[in-house]
Amino acid sequence: MMSRIWNLVLLIFLLQCFSLNAWGQEAEKKETTELESMTVIGETVAPEAVEVSSRFYLPESVEAVQTLTREDIEAIQPRDVTDLIEYSLGMNMWKQGARIHTFSFSRGDAVSVILNGVYLTSNEARRMISDIPVEMIDSIKFVRDASVITIGPLMSFGTAEEGSPNQGFIIIETRKKGPDTKYGTQIRASYASYDTFKASAVTGHSWQDDRFTFSAGYQRTHSQGRDDWNNGYTGDTLLFNGGFNNDVLLANFSLYYNTAAREIQRHESIYTGELNENVWEYDPIDTLLMSINLTRPWNEHHTTSLTYGWNRTECTGYRYTIDDKSATGNYAKDRSSEWNLTHSIATDRNTFKIGTQMVSWFQFIERAPSPREEEIYGAYITDAYKIKEWWFIDGALRVDKKKIVHGGDTYLSNGTQVKLSDGEWTDEAFVASLGNAWQINPIWKLTARYSFNVTPTPDVLTTVDDAELPDEQRHRYEVGVAADFNKVIQVSATPFYYNIKNAKVSADTISTDSNGDPILDPVSGDPTDITVYDSQDRELYGFELSIKGRFYKDILGYELGWTHFVDTEEDGNNGTENPENKFSGRLNWHYGDWRSDLTILHVGPYSSYGYTVGDFTTVNLSVSRTIFNGVKVTLFGKNITDDEYATNNKGYPTFAQWGCLRDVGATYGIEVSYSF
């Protein structure tokens, strides 16, 4: 399969090389900048939407990007953010439940989430991402390229097993302005299956030629949930964004607050098909996130940016049975903060950037004897150079170092002494990347990227036979082919290949030391287990293909996507938890005051702890019409094929009490919005 992928890319490249020389000479004579305004396949927003001084600015060689705008989200009518992730290229979702109720992956590994410029640690993102109201999102961008190093750290928090945590990024921006109406205000209300009710209002204003901006929003969400499934939800969300800009300073702030009560859906036994009697509930889950960004343009070339972000999620969890709901609440808390300082030097042909980032993490797990706290410090440099109007190159380097402040992994010292990795510093992790982008002619664009990163093995790992495990190494190769034939056919393909050496994996757990004595927790003194680690090699490869366009006087539009992914472990077996093939399609039309969107998603079957999940097809449909004076009515149906699919098996098959979570099936609803 890999040879066929690369042969296809090479063939496309060779076929187009014949036109490169003549077109390139003509472009050099004209020395025109016309190409810079061309739309890049996979993007639905203007390139100038992200300033080059921003840490979210992507070089020309990054092709694996998909952006959904506010208009796209309203047309798709997702139930929550996980619907958008599941639909996007290269991404995969687990819907698991318990304390962390969603998981997201890009190309077989963890993906990081950025909300309003704030880096969310893995546990925070998984705990709160479903609570972000889609009605309050302005855009969501999926960056599947793992070599973009300015956004987040190179190491994971709270685990010794994971290597590089950022196989990609989900960048979410909440609404910063209201509709383009006289008062810039919109109110919405919807009602759907299972007594699901949503009501929201957002308003945005600017003064003095947009020098001052301010927006605010509120949403109330309530769902009774399906009978006996224990999947009800109630939440309130507040949102504030503001900004000030002039020739000397650009300042922006954001505040997001959500308070919710969430029932955790009952698992279905993989043996009997019955819902398990054990259920969970979180009441409340409170999330507060704030960010401040200051940008100082010193002159036309030099710009300095400083960002501070802070996030806290607190919750109280209850474990009980469906017949006996008396339970004592258990408190949990996640907290993180980050600082980002960057300076960029931009000229007509070159953009150089140097930056530093510090992310701190605090976690107190339900019923844990003590909290955990870690810090990551990083520094990076990037440079992007335009050799010709049609040829771009870029390179980057980043180094990170982590400190385990308190309550890290428990390990065995000398085979007998149980210790915590308090106050330990890890070795440095680093990544280097190179990128190239060629606009071969007005139709074809070819990109290539390579990155190499090293994640150190923690000194405190307990290993098989007390072996010293080598550092993890990842080689990532990616090619992008984009063709903008006309407005009817636009194609983008991104084949990739990742070679991972010495990935850390859990090999076993032990409860006694080398003397045969029980292992005791060093804080509580209770008997405990310790994870024993080993290493193995992995190969990940595949591609993402997108074809889209508009025709018939722009009335009709379509978008087709295909994600192919293979995870091969050291023993030659295919890995689990990710489908090999995923297909998506979207057809939309608008005429006058009418608009309709049809989306289709097919996820192939895959193995999850020995149990087959996936293998489902969902169809969503929405039809809307603007009636009069800013009033719009939308009818929508979700999963109208009524496929109660599962995305993972929460535990090994021998533990039938775990089982899987299933989708609720078909839901229908109506929404009314008024913009004024």
What is the 3-class SS of 610-644, one letter each residue?
A: CEEEEEEEEEEEEEEEEEECCEEEEEEEECCCCCC
Model pLDDT, residue 553: 82
User: What is the enclosing helix (H) or strand (E) of 557?
Assistant: strand 556-569
Bridging pattern class, strands 581-591 and 631-638: unpaired
Model pLDDT, residue 98: 58
**If 0-12 CB within 10 Å is exposed, 13-18 middle and 19+ buried, where does residue 170 land?**
buried
3-state DSSP assignment of residue 21? helix
Token pair 């690369």: residue: 6
Report residue 75 CA to chain centroid gap: 21
| Region 2-675: CATH code | 2.40.170.20
Give the start-to-end residue ranges of the domains of the chain: 2-675
* First-to-last C-alpha distance (Å) of the chain: 55
The band of 258, judged by pLDDT with boundaries at 50, 70 and 90, is: very high
Which strand ranges, in their side-by-side order, compose the sheet holding 118-120? 65-69, 137-143, 169-174, 112-115, 118-120
CA dist 287 and 282 (Å) reads: 13
- Pick the closest to residue 575 from 612, 539, 542 (CA basis): 539
Report residue 556 CA to chain centroid gap: 30
User: What is the enclosing helix (H) or strand (E) of 26?
Assistant: helix 20-30
Each residue of 551-603: pLDDT tens digit?
888 899 999 999 999 988 644 444 467 899 999 999 999 999 999 999 999 99
What the block records as the tokens of 256 is 């997001």
Identify the DSSP state of 206. E
Model pLDDT, residue 29: 38
Can you give the pTM of this predicted structure?
0.87
Is residue 400 predicted with pLDDT exceeding 80?
A: yes
Those residues with Cβ within 8 angstroms of residue 415's Cβ, 6 or more apart along the chain or in another chain: 466, 513, 514, 515
Each residue of 623-671: pLDDT tens digit?
999 998 899 999 999 999 999 999 888 765 554 457 888 999 999 999 9
Model pLDDT, residue 651: 66
